[in-house]
Amino acid sequence: MERTAKTYTAAIDSLNVESNYLPKGGVTHCNEFAQDVMKKMSAALPGGLANEMADALSNKKAPGWYAVTFSDAQKRANLGYPTIGIKKETGHGHVVVVRPKGSSITVLKEVQVAQAGTSNFNSKTINWSWKAADLPGVKFYTHD
């Protein structure tokens, strides 16, 4: 698949995260949404829940994926490269899709994301995904 902001945006938007992937019985679907977006971009994420994905990514067991800074994550997404933010946590972690923003950023809270979770949204800044105190623990990965 062509790696452009337009194709990446279309892949994210096509899944209608705000009406699909809704929580059911207290179970959220952040991992499924992120995996589905990346599948559309030919950038397979490891299977399992967010914590299992985080372990595979940090242990370099996800071919094509590598760690980047938050600012590089946004730059890569702006160019159309599949990119995620993920935080391993006790119990259940969380993963978000970094989406094209159209501009560079200078602070972590400006990263543009889509997510499924306790609330689903197609395009908000990452500070809607985690509390401010938790943001520094988010790791970012991108795929070539």
pLDDT tens digit string along 62-82?
999 999 999 999 999 999 999
Does the pLDDT value for residue 1 go beyond 80?
no
Which pLDDT belongs to residue 104?
A: 87
Does the pLDDT value for residue 61 go beyond 80?
yes
Fold of 5-143: endopeptidase fold (from Nostoc punctiforme) (3.90.1720)
Q: Which of 44, 103, 50 lies closest to 77 in space, CA to CA? A: 103
Q: What DSSP letter does each residue of 42-106 carry, written as one string?
A: T-PPPSS-HHHHHHHHHTT-STTEEEE-HHHHHHHHHTT--EEEEE--SS--EEEEE---SS--S
Does the pLDDT value for residue 14 go beyond 90?
yes
Whether this model's pTM surpasses 0.95: yes
